[in-house]
Amino acid sequence: MSETARAARCIRRHTAQHDLFNRIHSIASDQSFVKEVADHFQRFPVIPNQRCGNWYCDPSTSSDIYAYFKSTDGHTLKWDFNLRRSNLPFAGHIRNAGGIILVDSTRRGKRMPDALSKTVPAWCTVINRAIASKYGTPLEPSLFLPPAIVSASEKSQIEALIPTWVESLLSSSLTLPALDEPLRPFFIHPSTTTLPVIPRDAAYLPVICLSASRWVGSHSDDIPTFTRIGKETVGFEYVPGAGDDDELWARGLTPKLFHEHRNTLLKTPRDELCGVVEELVMGKLVASTVDINLCESSRSSMILGYPAPDSRLALDLGLPLCNSQWESPMTEAITIYVVQVDRLPKEIATVASLDSSGHNRLVILSNPRGDGKRYLESMSAALEAIQGLLEWQPVIIAPGHQTHIDVAVAFAGDQRHADSSQSTWTPVKDEWISSRKVILPLIVALACRLDQRKTDEVINKDTIASHVQRLVTLWPDSNPPRAALKRVNEVLMSDPR
């Protein structure tokens, strides 16, 4: 084959792999397999492994329990048990449900993603051994891996690391759930010929790792090549792991929108599909723009005191994975809305007022991935201001928005129409997540500073890591970016206060 022909073939393959029509019909085909397995194990809830698994799990028939196991933690020679992805609340959900089905997929050349074949089973073993050590419960210590996928050599290397991971978990500030039965992984993929038999009185909690995608090139997998559009039979190229990397192909389509409009999308001809998706995405954006009082109605349904329920500091960041309400002090609280911008506005300070009462304020942080120096400066200014306020009254930290900046600019300019009650915004799910990723580094830094005032101890990496782990356990979908945490380390460990 000539270089030109080889290049043309690569281009055709790349185009087919990123084609929207191919992707959604591949997902729909794989979703049918997920449904078959779910129907067989009806007593177990179906849970998507974030984020790819969401494409294969219809929210109307699956659970909204959060699970996030990364394949990178299972990559060969890079195995890891990351305390920032401890998934400890997930273990409690498995106990309460009596077992679960965890759904994910993988791209070309594998039966299962490393997240399911290695990360999850290693996690099960670490949790079992840590709980046995802490509570004395005799749980299963063995590591179960799919033998046809993971070699004996690799298994032995992972086993050698588990004692270190157990010790790391036990020495952390994370709270281990109590389990009476051990977690036991099982592995299912499209070429599985016999499903595991799991008795109702099993002496373990089954964690069924279900890989939705077929292996292209395998003779045992039935690769779909056509679908029905109206009365026509239409061909498509199957894409394994089609739900992955959706930022490259989905054109703004989300798993939620896909499931809500699944029938419409799957009946749409190839040349009309992008237009239909654009209409759905734009309609969703318009529908989410609702007029709501900025400083009163953008509350989540739960405010959490941090680091303790009776703390003066409280977080309004969406529902956390706990039931501990804020024991609000009698004094009226100040609400601080936090936003992140690529370029700090010149018209107002990093910490600005939103109204004349002083009860609503704005903190503007620079983007840590851009100008690191500006981020350090804005973070330091925010810490100083919030610490000062906490000396006198409670403070609630909440997500901010561009509308808050507009109000702050107008108020700073002494414009009479600058009225925060007229601003309109409330976070939707994705905005809560992105806002938490912005705010959590600030909370980590603030909590470390408050700890230091109480104990007069030097802040170190363990102190910082402890708060990161606690906060990410409360909101597992909001792991802060590495760039922001790096800057937090610089702020705290270079400042003796």
pLDDT of residue 331: 74
Q: Which long-range contacts (CB under 8 A, 24 or more apart) does 429-436 make?
A: 431/399, 432/300, 432/317, 432/318, 432/399, 433/318, 433/477, 433/478, 435/317, 435/338, 435/399, 435/400, 436/317, 436/318, 436/399, 436/475, 436/477, 436/478
Give which of 438, 54, 14 is closest to 253, Cα–Cα.
54
The answer to whether the beta carbons of residues 239 and 23 sit under 8 Å apart is yes
Give which of 10, 32, 13 is closest to 214, Cα–Cα.
32
pLDDT of residue 424: 46
Q: Count other Cβ atoms within 10 Å, centred on residue 466.
A: 20
Domain with CATH 3.90.190 in the chain: 304-493
Strand-pair partners of 187: 209
Report the b/e string of 166-186 with b at 16+ CB within 10 A.
Answer: beebeebebebbebebbbbbb
Distance between CA atoms of 479 and 475, rounded to whole angstroms? 8
The answer to whether the beta carbons of residues 381 and 361 sit under 8 Å apart is no
**Chain centroid offset of residue 344 CA:** 27
pLDDT tens track, the chain, 497 positions:
665 545 445 545 545 668 999 999 999 999 999 999 999 999 999 999 998 999 999 999 999 899 999 999 999 999 999 998 999 999 999 999 999 999 999 987 789 999 999 999 999 999 999 999 999 887 788 999 999 999 999 999 999 999 999 999 999 989 899 999 999 999 999 999 999 999 999 999 999 999 999 988 766 678 898 899 988 999 999 999 999 989 899 999 999 999 999 999 999 999 999 999 999 998 865 554 433 344 444 445 588 999 988 899 999 998 887 767 788 776 789 999 999 998 887 778 888 888 888 889 999 999 998 888 889 999 999 999 999 999 989 999 999 988 888 888 888 876 544 454 444 455 666 788 899 999 999 999 999 998 888 888 888 888 899 999 999 988 988 889 889 999 999 988 875 54
Task: Report pLDDT digits (tens) over 381-398.
Answer: 999 999 999 998 999 999
pLDDT of residue 325: 75
pLDDT of residue 420: 47
Q: Burial level of 402, CB count in 10 A (0-12/13-18/19+)?
A: exposed
pLDDT of residue 297: 40
Map the chain to HEC letters.
CCHHHHHHHHHHHHHHHCCHHHHHHHHHHHHHHHHHHHHHCCCCCEEECCCHHHHHCCCCCCCCCCCCCCHHHHCCCCCCCCHHHCCHHHHHHHHHHCCEEEEECCCCCCCCCHHHHHHHHHHHHHHHHHHHHHHCCCCCCCCCCCCCCCCHHHHHHHHHHHHHHHHHHHCCCCCCCCCCCCEEEEEECCCCCCCCCCCCCCCCEEEEEEECCCCCCCCCCCCCCEEEECCEEEECCCCCCCCCCHHHCCCCCCHHHHHHCHHHHHHCCHHHHHHHHHHHHHHHHHHCCCCCECCCCCCCCCCEECCCCCCCEEECCCCCCCCCCCCCCCCCCEEEEEEEECCCCCCCCCEEECCCCCCEEEEEEECCCCCHHHHHHHHHHHHHHHHHHHCCCCEEEEECCHHHHHHHHHHHCCCCCCCHHHCECCCCHHHHHHHHHHHHHHHHHHHHHHHHHHHCCCCCHHHHHHHHHHHHHHCCCCCCCHHHHHHHHHHHHCCCC
Put residue 109 in one of left, alpha, beta given phi > 0 → left and psi -120 to 50 → alpha.
left
Q: Please provide residue 469's backbone torsions phi and psi, each rounded to the nearest 5 degrees.
A: -60, -45
pLDDT of residue 13: 55
Task: Report pLDDT digits (tens) over 400-411.
Answer: 988 888 888 888
CATH class of 304-493: alpha beta
Q: Please provide residue 401's backbone torsions phi and psi, each rounded to the nearest 5 degrees.
A: -155, 170
Distance between CA atoms of 376 and 378, rounded to whole angstroms? 6
Question: What Rg do the C-alpha atoms of the chain give, in angstroms?
Answer: 25
pTM for this structure? 0.80
Q: Is the dihedral of CA 172, 173, 178, 184 positive or negative?
A: negative
Q: Please provide residue 202's backbone torsions phi and psi, each rounded to the nearest 5 degrees.
A: -60, 145
pLDDT of residue 356: 83
pLDDT of residue 428: 62
Q: Please provide residue 277's backbone torsions phi and psi, each rounded to the nearest 5 degrees.
A: -60, -40
